[in-house]
Amino acid sequence: MRNLATGLVRAGLVVGIAAGGAALAAPATAASGPSYHGCPYGAVCVYPGGTGFNHDHPKYVWYSYAGHNIYNELGTNRIVNNQSANAGFGLCRYSNGTGGVVDVAPWPIENYSPSYEDFHAKLVNSVDLRPESQIGANTICHR
């Protein structure tokens, strides 16, 4: 029995037993890169109106390809695209990624170099995140 336990440990098959007898699984690792003014790698972030990068504290941080609503924003806001794989986004007239594009910003992310844009929040009610294959005037903000 001792040899079996030693073999399992050496093979990395034993993950451990916590209180109550529950096994703990090792966390999955995701691709990573540098954050940009507080916007984590892989995300699109919006900063409050009139604050620029708001001391590197975004108000909204989104990772999923979907329409995301913004609320109670006034003036000029800043949006950062720190997604991977040349993903982009559109600023949409209506909620939930609908209503057509106010402004499309499909910036390629080469060498993890993020980009940002300022926009007037009066015209924008949501942000639609899309993979590179779905960036276009007929797809963004038409969910």
Instruction: Tell me what the mean pLDDT of segment 56-65 comes to.
Output: 97
Domain that holds residue 128: 34-134
Residue 41 has pLDDT above 70, yes or no: yes
| Ranges 7-21, 53-67, 117-131: which has the least confidence | 7-21
Residue 140 forms part of a structural domain: no
Residue 59 lies in a domain: yes
**Has residue 14 got a pLDDT over 60?**
no
pLDDT at position 62 over 80: yes
Domain assignment present for residue 77? The answer is: yes
| Domain-embedded: residue 27 | no
SS3 track for 93-143: EEHHHEEEEEEEECCCCCCCCCEEEEEEHHHCCEEEEECHHHCCCCCCCCC
- Specify if 139 maps to a domain: no
**Residue at 143 is within a domain:** no
pLDDT at 106 over 70: no
Residue 136 pLDDT > 60: yes
For residue 19, pLDDT over 60 is answered with no
Q: Determine, yes or no, domain membership for 28.
A: no
> For residue 74, is pLDDT > 80?
yes
Q: How many domains does the chain have?
A: 1
